[in-house]
Amino acid sequence: MITGSIVALATPMKVNGDIDWEALRRLVNFHLDNGTDGIVAAGTTGEPTTMSFAEHFDVIRTIVEEVDRRIPVIAGTGSNNTTEAVELTRYAKEVGADYCLTVAPYYNKPTQEGLYQHFKAIAETSDLPVILYNVPGRTCSDIYNETVLRLAEVDNIIGLKDATGNLERAEDLISRLEGSGFMLYSGDDGTACDFMLMGGHGDISVTANVAPKAMHELCTAAVAGDADKAHQINTRLMPLHTQLGIESNPIPVKWALNRMGYSEAGIRLPLTWLSERYHSTVSEALQLAGLIEDAG
């Protein structure tokens, strides 16, 4: 099982919106060189909802090939169409992904029973280990703790990415699943440090896109229970955690990657490039984290 800092990788794009395959490979190696413990390919931050099936498949395949088994790859295979999520998961297994991350269906607003049956169907049609993803702020679909506990009993469902930012809720799950082998990951950088210090296993992180080494060090310390070191690093990164949410993800992080020289200024509609009034704010956060020298 993966512990530590898992990057929710942004997909580099050219100014015209085409995927920049060369930049994607460079970005993967940036993470391999800086301690990232796992990579999510074509997760929400990677903009899969604006990709064709062929592009989605190719992003997963390219990342798997470039990583070459050096760290685990988690394929984003979520959809609000269960049949489509099953197909994406099967493909991810075929090309060598190690796990899949599948989000709660968006827009449909299924019941808790519908969520249970959706994830169960994905798990039963592939032997690729499934990590659930709960992010109700984006999906309007919330996997309640009781439903997570039911799903934890399903063979092949091995973990949860919890992006609610609700530490009371996370503490309940951590205590009730202790010793079960079920993995619990934060999906909210601002609360991830405390989530891990309570017993969580890692952070599936947006901040790790631009600060992989620091996020690896933070997560390593927090998972080991070294609160002093974890809080020290987290304090330095907190402006970055905050400002990378100043507009809808992945708008700010793609701007930051461009500012750092890792990608062109490419994003796909309906998302647009970061508003100019926020450029200095995000630059200052990058500078405070020691990632650029000049915020000007």
What's the rounded Cα separation, in Å, for the pair 175 and 155?
A: 21
What's the rounded Cα separation, in Å, for the pair 43 and 85?
A: 12
In the block, which residue shows the tokens 């310390």? Answer: 221
The amino acid at residue 211 is A
Q: What is the pLDDT of residues 268-291, one digit of tens each?
A: 999 999 999 999 999 999 999 999
**Is position 36 annotated in a ligand binding site?**
no
Q: In the chain, what are the domain boundaries?
A: 4-288
- List the structure tokens of 1: 């099982």
We find that the CATH architecture of domain 4-288 is Alpha-Beta Barrel (3.20)
What's the rounded Cα separation, in Å, for the pair 226 and 142?
A: 32
**Is position 122 annotated in a ligand binding site?**
no
What's the rounded Cα separation, in Å, for the pair 94 and 89?
A: 9
Across the strands, what pairs with 39?
7, 73
Total residues found in the chain within this entry: 296
Question: In the 8-state DSSP scheme, what is residue 13?
Answer: B
Q: What is the pLDDT of residues 126-181, one digit of tens each?
A: 999 999 999 999 999 999 999 999 999 999 999 999 999 999 999 999 999 999 99
First to last CA, the chain: 42
Which residues, including other chains, have CB under 8 Å from residue 214's CB and lie 6 or more apart? 233, 236, 237, 289, 290
pLDDT mean across residues, the chain:
97
Q: What's the whole-model pTM score? A: 0.97
What's the rounded Cα separation, in Å, for the pair 56 and 287?
A: 33
3-state secondary structure of 102: strand
Active site residues: 133, 161
